[in-house]
Amino acid sequence: MFEESVLKRIQVMEQSGIRIVGEKVIYIDPLRIVGAPHDADLILFTHPHPDHFSPKDVKKLMKDSTVVAAPKSMAAMCRLRLGRKPVPLLPGKTQLLCGITVETVAAYNRFKLFHLKARKWLGYILTIGQTRVYISGDTDITEESKAVSCDIALLPVGGAGYTMNPEQAAELAAAIAPHTVIPIHYGKLLGGANAAERFRAALDSRIEADIRPTAFSTVMVSMYLRAAVLISACGVLGYFIGKML
């Protein structure tokens, strides 16, 4: 059942970083955290890509009692990078975490290589009060995503070879028919500034679009710039090593 109060408790930080505040404070893929609130009761990860798994930001949120949960394939990474043993999760399961019912949904690309089904990465359905909130993770339209029942959905709309584009996200929304969709995972290099409005224009008129300006992200720009600098540095280093040999 859709509850407006639950929608108001959902905050989009940037890209796919989500914060849900209530009796418990829940984060999903937290990114670019301001300050160090150390207020997380539950932190969920969808997959290990650096725009979704940022240890320096997660450490600003964790406290002694924080429960961390992640795809089973991320367990060793969480222990190494966070110093915390996570609850390992697999697709198609239901578990009670911090008193919250958490259902896992497979998240993957069908015809792209960035998010392979075999890695068993995840989206989540959280039951908050009587409202079911679906955070899809980086996914295409799949049989698993089309089978979701939810009241609020947070869907990626950036496309660019990683996820659904705005029109595809609108197609998935029409299939699962939530009350409201919050478009996420878009920005520079990911669909552009108008991705959310493209999604709204393509959306079934019976479904509400709740566009959050904070979802617009430049994180991919900085990631590509760092990669370019690293590649350039490796090239220079290789050149000088070759000269010395």
For residue 48, pLDDT over 90 is answered with yes
| 31-58 average pLDDT score | 97
| 127-154 average pLDDT score | 97
- So what's the pLDDT on residue 222? 56
pTM: 0.90
Show the 3-state SS of 24-37.
CEEEECCCCCCCCC
Q: b vs e for 190-213, b when ≥16 Cβ sit within 10 Å of the residue's Cβ?
A: bbbeebbebbbebbeeebebbebe
For residue 231, pLDDT over 60 is answered with no
The pair of structure tokens assigned to 19 is: 């914060």
DSSP-assigned beta bridge partners for residue 81: none
- So what's the pLDDT on residue 224? 47
Quick one: which of 90, 68, 89 has its CA closest to 79?
68
For residue 160, pLDDT over 90 is answered with no
| 8-22 average pLDDT score | 95
| 185-192 average pLDDT score | 87
- Asked whether the beta carbons of 138 and 114 are under 8 A apart, the reply is yes
Inter-axis angle of helices 195-202 and 166-176, to 10 degrees? 40
pLDDT band at 133 (very low <50, low <70, confident <90, very high): very high
pLDDT band at 241 (very low <50, low <70, confident <90, very high): low
Which CATH homologous superfamily contains domain 4-244? Ribonuclease Z/Hydroxyacylglutathione hydrolase-like (3.60.15.10)
Look at the block and give the residue holding tokens 């220079």.
236
| 73-96 average pLDDT score | 98
- So what's the pLDDT on residue 189? 79
Q: Name the amino acid, one letter, at 49.
A: H
For residue 168, pLDDT over 80 is answered with yes
- So what's the pLDDT on residue 130? 96
pLDDT band at 66 (very low <50, low <70, confident <90, very high): very high
- Asked whether the beta carbons of 173 and 153 are under 8 A apart, the reply is yes
Instruction: Please state, in angstroms and rounded to a whole number, the distance separating the CA atoms of residues 110 and 139.
Output: 8
Q: Where are the domains of the chain?
A: 4-244
Quick one: which of 178, 97, 184 has its CA closest to 139?
184
Q: Which of 66-70, 81-85, 153-157, 188-192 has the lowest mean pLDDT?
A: 188-192
234 versus 219: the higher-pLDDT residue is 219
Q: What is the mean pLDDT of the chain?
A: 91
Helix, strand and coil content of the chain, in percent to the nearest 5, comes to: 30, 25, 45
